[in-house]
């Protein structure tokens, strides 16, 4: 399969790296909130299946997507979580962050 650079695309190669939970910065204006029951469900899923969906972070360790997963991981006593850094994204760019999508997209 050709790499993104081989096709002349501006897509970025993604790499998963583990980051300390305490280093991640939740977005104060996150549009999505999670009840304790939802956090418990997410924690149960992580416990049963592992951490299958990495947290998306900006270049400053700000959480773009995955607030609930981080809370669940903390509840499970995890010290690190898998993350994908998307330093080229800005939280203010509409439609780039899952919590900022129009309701009709969800």
Domain contains 8: no
58-68 pLDDT, tens digit each: 989 999 999 99
Domain contains 53: yes
Q: What's the number of domains the chain is made of?
A: 1
CATH number at residue 72: 3.90.1530.30
Rounded to an integer, what distance in angstroms lies between the CA atom of residue 34 and that of residue 78? 19
Low-confidence ranges of the chain (pLDDT < 50): 1-2, 94-95, 101-106
Contacts for 93-102 with beta carbons within 8 Å, 24 or more apart?
A: 96/64, 97/64, 97/65, 98/32, 98/64, 98/65, 99/27, 99/30, 99/31, 99/32, 99/65, 100/31
Q: Domain range holding 42?
A: 35-92
Domain contains 42: yes
Domain contains 18: no
């Amino acid at each position: 399969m050709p790499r993104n650079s081989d096709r002349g695309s501006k897509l970025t190669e993604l790499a998963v790296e583990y980051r300390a939970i305490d280093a991640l910065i939740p977005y104060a204006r996150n549009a999505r909130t999670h009840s304790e029951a939802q956090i418990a469900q997410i924690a149960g899923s992580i416990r049963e299946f592992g951490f299958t969906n990495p947290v998306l972070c900006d270049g400053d360790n700000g959480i773009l997507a995955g607030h609930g997963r981080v809370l669940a991981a903390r509840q499970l006593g995890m010290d690190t979580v898998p993350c994908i850094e998307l330093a080229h994204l800005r939280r203010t760019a509409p439609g780039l962050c899952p919590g900022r999508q129009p309701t009709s997209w969800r």
